[in-house]
Structure 1
Amino acid sequence: MKILKKYPNRRIYDTSASAYIKLEDVRQMVLNYEPFQVVDSKTGDDLTRGTLMQIVTELESEGQRSLLTNRILEELIRFYGDQFATVIGPLIEQQILAFLKEQDKVRSHLKQFSSPGIPTAEDLLKKYLDSLPKF
């Protein structure tokens, strides 16, 4: 696992490469399934979640479609302090992992039937999502 040190000036240092990296490089690590941990350079506190949230925020500010709608964020905020808060995180994670597993099966199956000129499932899904009302 790579250890990334985050400094007070917001710079991130990759200890395995002995070099400073950008947040985009951390995003690429996520996309490449590279395990890493971001720690505070002084205290050693784990800053990984905050860094991941920063990546999501930047993706959305760059115009990427938000996966975390306002409604989802509102409901997540309501869970904090709730008696079920300790089980919600693992439950959401389990549901997302199950969804990803099924998505991989569907993608694999659809690749067998793809041919030029025929819209892919992703094209159809994007068209559908674009047609939904914006809240």
Structure 2
Amino acid sequence: MATARRGKTTAAPDAAPQTRVLKKYPNRRLYDTQTSSYITLADVKAMVLQGLSFEVRDAKTNEDLTRAILLQIILEEETGGVPMFSTALLEQVIRFYGHAMQGVMGAYLEQNMKSFADLQQRFTEQSKGLAFSPEAWTQFMSAQAPVMQGLMGNYMEQSKSLFTQMQERLQQAGQMFPAMNAFPAKK
């Protein structure tokens, strides 16, 4: 339930968090309607890291620009430091655009990212409360090699299972709709 105070809407303590609206103006500036101030991409990145729900809207057309802003943040991260994506991986992702598997690949990657995030959270919870110097952390991690191998093994098994399920669904779809088999795969 939302309540109004001095012209602003605030959420009641038991209400679900509202989606924060950011407006993007033609001068390329982002305006946070909740704080009534201009923000930077670094601020948007901080919102993502905090897990805040938001959307970016064009100030004139109200078009949803959230994905474009998130991709811009990824581009800055990739060019500004140690990249996460190799050139080969980026090339492979590009090859899936326009391919019959594009939608399936997106869902597969999303499920894999969720599984990996769950794995990361479990590891973080297991090491909570431990204050380490860089040297102690290195020793801890080398002692954790068997644990990490087990966790990564579980992750890889989940990933393999997701891929197998995807293949089975595609085979079922091919049996239900034989015309799908008439289209050759792009190379």
Q: Does 1:82 align with 2:99?
A: yes
Q: Which amino acid letter does the alignment assign opposite residue 47 of structure 2?
A: M
Q: Does 1:101 align with 2:118?
A: yes
Higher helix share: 2
Is residue 5–residue 40 contact of structure 1 (8 Å, CA) maintained in 2? yes
Q: Distance in 1 between matches of 2:122 and 2:59?
A: 41
Count of residue correspondences: 123
Q: Aligned to 2:36, which of 10, 18, 21?
A: 18
Counterpart residue number, 1:92: 109
Indicate how the Cα distance of structure 1 residues 85 and 110 shifts in structure 2: closer, same or farther if over 3 A, else same. Answer: same
Q: Percent identity?
A: 40
Structure 1 residue 113, shift from structure 2 partner: 7.0
Q: Distance in 1 between matches of 2:111 and 2:59?
A: 32
* Aligned pairs (5 A) from 1:42-61: 42-61=60-79
Is residue 23–residue 56 contact of structure 2 (8 Å, CA) maintained in 1? yes
Q: Which amino acid letter does the alignment assign opposite residue 54 of structure 2?
A: F
SS at match of 1:3: strand
Indicate how the Cα distance of structure 1 residues 85 and 111 shifts in structure 2: closer, same or farther if over 3 A, else same. Answer: same
Is residue 37–residue 46 contact of structure 1 (8 Å, CA) maintained in 2? yes
Q: Distance in 1 between matches of 2:132 and 2:41?
A: 37
Q: Distance in 2 between matches of 1:46 and 1:24?
A: 19
Counterpart residue number, 1:39: 57
Does 1 or 2 have the higher relative contact order (CA < 8 Å, sep 6+)? Answer: 1
Q: Which amino acid letter does the alignment assign opposite residue 40 of structure 2?
A: K
Q: Distance in 2 between matches of 1:28 and 1:11?
A: 17
Structure 2 length as normaliser, TM-score? 0.59
Structure 1 length as normaliser, TM-score? 0.80
Is residue 29–residue 40 contact of structure 2 (8 Å, CA) maintained in 1? yes
- Structure 1 gaps, min length 5: 126-135
Aligned alpha-carbon RMSD (Å): 2.4
